[in-house]
Amino acid sequence: MSELHTEHREPAAPAERSDSAANQLWGGRFARGPAAVMERINASIGFDCRLAEQDIRGSIAHARMLADRGIIAGGDADAIIAGLTEIAADIAAGRFAFKVELEDIHMNVEAALAERIGAPAGRLHTARSRNDQVATDFRLWVRDALDRLEDGLKALQTALIERAEAHAATVMPGFTHLQSAQPVTFGHHMLAYVEMLGRDRSRVRDARARMNECPLGAAALAGTPFPIDRWSTTTALGFDRPTANSLDSVSDRDFALDYLATAAIAAVHLSRLAEEFVLWTSDQFRFVRLSDAFSTGSSIMPQKRNPDAAELVRAKSGRIIGHLMGLLTVVKALPLAYAKDLQEDKEPVFDVDDSLGLCVAALTGMVGDMTVDQVAMRRAAAVGHPTATDLADWLVRALGLPFRQAHHITARIVAEADARHTDLGGVPLAAMQVIEPQITAEVFDVLGLDAAVASRTSLGGTAPETVRRAAAAARERYL
């Protein structure tokens, strides 16, 4: 896409008008051009130039339909399509100069078409309005954005599954309340994010299916008296069906809200993973190390390696959530049908697409880039009596005690370990038997980290073999 070629102008005094003539595409009702400040606030070409590809796709489909229905001559349609194809090529090559006085992408393209092919260009807008045109363009763009998002999330899932397979038996601490709870494997931890992203991809597909209706043909708000074929343009643009109500067609932005809501939830999941990287790379954890490709230094402290990419992913979630709140606020009180407020729908969506795409790519890179310190993970997993639940479970299984009684006995043994400054395996059998005489030496078989992890064989559990099966199932389900 070429840069927007505009000349910055200070706003004129309120009573003055800009020097531009009345807009030639819609200005027949007006004798004078708009005030400079009006021109600046009204123009959207600075951002909706990103809709150029979709706008031209929609116009080509519309022109073909008009000719097929005999609404315009076939020769005019051919000229229109040839001209639009040339314009698309110029835009892709960066040779197209967008003009702010033409307000938006639709009028920039139509004006350029008129310059290239003359009178036939004036027939393109038959039986449509900018209202249904922009609704169609924007749906096409959001649909493409959803496809990009799903592809990115799938790539991140792939990287996580590969790590899960490599570390199915790597023991690390599992936390609740960020306190050491029970040992798990790093592979199991990676697969938790695979499941989160799987739900994100499901929301992407749901949003895509829900928005895949074509508004083209709704015209300004009431439909059109021309004998158009809405199914023709719907099929040509890859939609499932035409929208059912012309008023709703031009005023609906649920598809943009769906996209932003889906993106916001995905961004929260990405932020959680990013926070793990911030913790794991710290000197207090040292679970993973990122290479120079995903680390930065300090301007004053030469020893520092900062996980800036992860921190920025974490921060961008707030930006993405904010855009969802912003667009909800824009549309919350709009009467039917179209209002210019809806011009504010595109910038947040464009920014979210950019931001979320960066976040997904950064995390995919970090997951693939990280070096896992298995020794540090195992050392941390031994802290805080992580096999206490295994001891309680053994008391239930081996001695037939009620779990609540077993829990109480285990708590007393934990206190004994703390008093001796040792782990549970370091408490002598005799000391345990003072608390519960039925305990035998077999209890020590369940107090090791590997034994604790290996025992969690239930579906979705952390046992290495269970993790390997889960990773294989995730490959089948998601990749």
Residues belonging to the active site: 177, 298
Look at the block and give the residue holding tokens 């994100």: 200
Name the burial class of residue 26, with classes exposed (0-12), middle (13-18) and buried (19+) by CB atoms within 10 angstroms of its CB: exposed
Quick check: 429 and 439 in contact, CB under 8 A?
yes
Element at 288 (helix H, strand E): strand 288-289
Sign of the Cα pseudo-torsion (244, 250, 256, 261, in order): negative
Four-point Cα dihedral 66, 72, 74, 75, nearest 10: -130
Quick check: 405 and 438 in contact, CB under 8 A?
no
Look at the block and give the residue holding tokens 């039925």: 438
Q: How many CB atoms lie within 10 A of CB 316?
A: 22
Q: What is d(CA 467, CA 479) in angstroms, rounded to the nearest whole number? A: 17
Quick check: 408 and 386 in contact, CB under 8 A?
no
Sign of the Cα pseudo-torsion (461, 465, 468, 472, in order): negative
Task: Extract the runs of DSSP E, i.e. beta strands, from 32-178.
Answer: 171-176
